[in-house]
Structure 1
Amino acid sequence: MTSAPRSTRRPTAFAVFSILAGSIGWFASFELLTEYIKTLAASDYVPNCNVSILVTCGPNMGSWQGSLFGFSNTIIGVSAFVAPIAVGVALLAGARFSRWFWTLYQLGLLGGFVFIWWLFSQSVFVLGTLCPWCMVVWSVMIPLWWVSFFRPYANGDIPLSDSARAVFQTLLSWTWVIVLICYLVIAFVAQLQLDWLSEFSRM
């Protein structure tokens, strides 16, 4: 069993993807945070994401699910999405990360991935809402996790045998399908529970 060497090419596409995904997630989290602060400052303030009874973020921000750890989840987003931005910038600058770094980075992304699925379930099944900025966070967290999970193994940043690396290279090439399935699951479950298509057709 041999460990395949890592690629020597600079991962420009992955770096740019990480920066864009992190920036979009950070912006959505920042918007939620500023709207949350405004609602605390003025009880009659209407957040900019309150589009309708179904498409709204007010109930999410005001619920215990929106402050799972005793403070607004938006603070986690604003803090955590700095990581993929920093990783992307570092890769563009020519940085090479060790196996332990990629492992810790993947664990952090896995935590975020699991967290957004939990938030999705709470939003749809408990709160009965679709939070616009939350959905932006979900939409970037899903591909960010899958691409960042497969790629370090596929290109040799995390050494594996040739056969195992080939498996991850195949999985990486099919990432868009896995991401699409995740999106479809969210859309399907939300439709069954909230009938969002009818709501959007009236908007």
Structure 2
Amino acid sequence: MILAGAIGWLAAFALTVEKFALLTDPQDSLGCDFSVLVQCSANLESWQGSLLGFPNPIIGLGAWIAPIVVGAALLAGARFDRWYWITFNAGVALGLAFVIWLISQSIFVLGTLCPWCMVTWSVTIPLFLVVTLRNLSSGVFGGGMTLRSTSAALYRWTPTITFGAYLVIAAIAQLRLDVINHI
């Protein structure tokens, strides 16, 4: 959790800096603009880049602190009540839903792959899996022993499931954007 939070926060920070650069000089070429296909500018300048009326990376600056703090607290021996895990899981699930929407907007609407956005996608997916499978296997959401044992088994497969999700996203991007021919 700490690693995912730190990487996600750094990506949000980098995107925030890039957004400030864009606001300061709209003609400036951003450090994350590599090509027509791989760039941040199109994403940051679109309405999708400011869904709530302010730049999305600001959401990340606040939200990515949560897994860092929860992970650090767990390392220190903290134990959280069921309500806390449910709330935390709901927040992570909301983050995943937002990322899925952003992926679809980036690939199908904007036709770009934003490097810092992809970093955020890459840590949100395993964070969701780790938190959700941990909660399912611990009985946070109730359920019988079958659900708990299945979740515990799937938890051990988190890297493989995550890699599978990456492959699905890459395949969709390739089919839609023909990434390989743009490299």
Q: Is the 8 A contact 2:86 2:140 kept in 1?
A: no
Supply the distance in 2 between the matched residues of 1:155 and 1:132 (Cα, whole angstroms). 35
Unaligned regions of 5+ residues in structure 1, if any?
1-17
* Counterpart position of 1:170: 153
Q: Is the 8 A contact 1:23 1:85 kept in 2?
A: yes
Deviation at 1:187, TM superposition (A): 0.2
Q: Normalization by structure 1: what TM-score?
A: 0.86
2:177 pairs with 174, 187, 194, which one?
Answer: 194
Q: Is the 8 A contact 1:112 1:141 kept in 2?
A: yes
> Larger RCO: Structure 1 or Structure 2 (Cα < 8 Å, ≥ 6 residues apart)?
1
Supply the distance in 2 between the matched residues of 1:44 and 1:123 (Cα, whole angstroms). 21
Supply the distance in 1 between the matched residues of 2:122 and 2:33 (Cα, whole angstroms). 19
Amino acid of the residue matched to residue 110 of structure 1? A
* Counterpart position of 1:95: 78
For residues 134-149 of structure 1, the aligned pairs below 5 Å read 134-149=117-132
1:106 pairs with 89, 103, 115, which one?
Answer: 89
Identity level (%): 50
Q: Does 1:182 align with 2:161?
A: no
> Which has the greater radius of gyration?
1
Unaligned regions of 5+ residues in structure 2, if any?
none
Q: Is the 8 A contact 1:102 1:158 kept in 2?
A: no
Q: Which stretch of structure 1 is more off in the superposition, 94-103 or 169-178?
A: 169-178
2:36 pairs with 50, 53, 56, which one?
Answer: 53
State the Cα deviation string for residues 89-132 of structure 1 (Å, max 9, x = none).
10011100111000000100011101111111111111110100
- In angstroms, what is the RMSD of aligned CA positions? 1.3
State the Cα deviation string for residues 28-70 of structure 1 (Å, max 9, x = none).
0100001101111112221110011110000100000000111
Q: Is the 8 A contact 1:97 1:157 kept in 2?
A: no
* Counterpart position of 2:4: 21
Aligned residues: 183
Q: Is the 8 A contact 1:29 1:77 kept in 2?
A: yes
Deviation at 1:163, TM superposition (A): 3.0
